[in-house]
């Protein structure tokens, strides 16, 4: 099974903000679309992130509660999707704009039947950072599905199985 990031037909993007994924306690739940029918796994990565807060910190780590198969952390507290840093301080007020530090974030392998992500935040020291400290948040996730065989091959194979061959 291969993942081809150059093939847009196997990628989906998910947008989340306060309207599409409202705050629920200390987390936000991001709904995910249904995946490709025969794909057992999907690679997920955080490609864009903007946070606006009145609280200054050395960085904010965006984490998901779901456990991908290709991630390990000794703290056993979710999976780090990305690390933000202060992009700039808005002139004339106390708001700090946080964005991803780099354009490349890791892609994690999760089950393709996952229908939601539960996100939470930590500062760079591992202390919980509340979404309630944010004025706004915006995320874009990339879902990469493995290449699928052409439909004709699948249909032909299915017919052979049905005949008992």
Is residue 75 within 8 Å of residue 128, measured between CB atoms? no
Give the pLDDT score at 66.
92
Is residue 106 within 8 Å of residue 45, measured between CB atoms? yes
The mean pLDDT of the chain is 82
Distance (Å, whole) CA 128 – CA 14: 25
Query: Which of 3-12, 15-24, 75-84, 137-146 is predicted least confidently?
Result: 3-12
């Amino acid at each position: 099974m291969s993942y081809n990031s150059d093939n847009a037909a196997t990628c989906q993007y998910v947008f989340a903000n306060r309207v599409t994924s409202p705050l629920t306690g200390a987390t936000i739940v991001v709904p995910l679309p249904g995946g490709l029918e025969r794909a057992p796994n999907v690679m997920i990565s955080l490609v864009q992130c903007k946070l606006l807060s009145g609280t200054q910190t050395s960085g904010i780590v965006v984490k998901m509660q779901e456990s991908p198969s290709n991630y390990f952390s000794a703290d056993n507290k979710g999976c780090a999707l990305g690390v933000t840093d202060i992009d700039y301080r808005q002139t004339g007020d106390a708001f700090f704009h946080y964005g991803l530090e780099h354009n490349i974030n890791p892609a994690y392998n999760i089950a393709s039947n996952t229908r939601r992500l539960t996100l939470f935040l930590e500062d760079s020291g591992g202390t919980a950072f509340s979404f309630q400290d944010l004025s706004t948040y915006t995320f874009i996730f990339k879902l990469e599905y493995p290449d699928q065989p052409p439909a004709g091959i699948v249909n032909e194979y299915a017919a052979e199985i049905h005949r008992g061959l």
